[in-house]
């Protein structure tokens, strides 16, 4: 028995997220079909994370156990050959049998991408949130600074009933502006459901003056989803890196 650690990237536009669903097309289903064909056995892949409908991944890790003797490069080429254009295998390596893509993940980095311009971007209408107003980077940076660290993020969670704790640690939030793009890069040990999208939406609300940057501590303290800002649209979100 072998355990393969595989890195993949996907454009989430056409998929109902990563996790397999009985009634909608997901990335997991498409990957499992391609992997099973190449391994010539029924493969069950374990993903590092769920992602929402329309969310993208520039680096997503899964592991899969197999009896196959296929080489790592043969696996990558074979599976890539079976996959559609919007899912790509980046790498494959053998790891110990107890490696688990979800439980062993030590941290994640997400990007929220905003296209700030009067004109839409004809090359990526599904790859960034189109925002027609000016984004106030300085105000957003000040607000974001309050969120860095270990906090109870219950105000930034869409549905927290299924988790044992809403305490998470954000290592850093960087906000960069290049041309018409604003990139919000968030690195942390783990994230609650919709947490990055609510952080991004709240920073957009800060940019519009609906919140002041110094409102963040009391929004955190409230532990109430209704106190934070909007949930930013899914198609601006990318899982960018996963750390083990």
The residues annotated as belonging to the active site are 52
**Would you say 122 or 209 has its CB closer to a copy of itself?**
122
Secondary structure of 212-230 in the HEC alphabet? CHHHHHHHHHHCCHHHCCC
- The pair of structure tokens assigned to 158 is 């869409």
Give the dihedral sign, CA 233/45/62/89: negative
Q: What residues line the site for a copy of itself (CB under 8 A)?
A: 9-11, 56, 76-77, 80, 85-90, 118-125, 127
For residue 11, how far is the Cα from the chain centroid? 11
Nearer to a copy of itself, 10 or 131 (CB): 10
Backbone φ and ψ for 39, nearest 5 degrees, come out as -80, -15
Q: Which is nearer to a copy of itself, 21 or 91 (CB)?
A: 91
Instruction: Count how many residues are written for the chain.
Output: 244
- Within 10 A of 211 (CB to CB), how many other CB atoms are there? 21
Q: Which is nearer to a copy of itself, 13 or 169 (CB)?
A: 13
Task: At 233, give phi and psi (nearest 5°).
Answer: -65, 150
Q: Which is nearer to a copy of itself, 71 or 165 (CB)?
A: 71
Phi/psi of residue 38, each to 5°?
Answer: -75, -40
Distances (CA, A) of 179 to 114, 120, 182: 11, 13, 8
Q: Round to whole Å and give the CA distance between 101 and 57.
A: 15
Q: Which two tokens stand for residue 137?
A: 């980077």
Work out how close the CB of 124 gets to a copy of itself at its nearest, in angstroms, rounded to a whole number.
8
């Amino acid at each position: 028995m072998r355990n393969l650690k595989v890195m993949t990237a996907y454009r989430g536009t056409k998929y109902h997220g990563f996790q397999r669903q009985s009634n909608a097309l997901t990335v997991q289903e498409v990957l499992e079909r391609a992997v099973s064909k190449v391994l010539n056995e029924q493969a069950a892949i374990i993903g590092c994370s769920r992602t929402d409908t329309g969310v993208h991944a520039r680096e997503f890790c899964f592991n899969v156990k197999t009896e196959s003797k296929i080489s790592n490069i043969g696996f990558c080429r074979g599976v890539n050959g079976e996959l559609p254009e919007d899912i790509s295998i980046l790498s494959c390596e053998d790891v110990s049998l107890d490696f688990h893509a979800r439980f062993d993940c030590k941290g994640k980095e997400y990007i929220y991408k905003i296209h700030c311009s009067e004109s839409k971007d004809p090359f990526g209408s599904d790859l960034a949130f189109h925002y027609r107003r000016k984004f106030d980077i300085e105000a957003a940076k000040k607000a974001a600074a309050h969120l860095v660290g270990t906090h109870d993020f219950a105000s930034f969670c869409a549905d927290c009933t299924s988790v044992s704790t809403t305490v998470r640690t954000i290592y850093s939030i960087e906000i960069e502006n290049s041309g018409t793009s604003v990139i919000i890069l968030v690195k942390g040990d783990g994230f609650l459901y919709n947490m990055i999208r609510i952080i991004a939406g709240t920073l957009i609300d800060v940019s519009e003056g609906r919140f002041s940057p110094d409102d963040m501590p009391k929004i955190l303290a409230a532990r109430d989803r209704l106190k934070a800002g909007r949930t930013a649209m899914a198609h601006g979100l990318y899982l960018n890196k996963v750390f083990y």
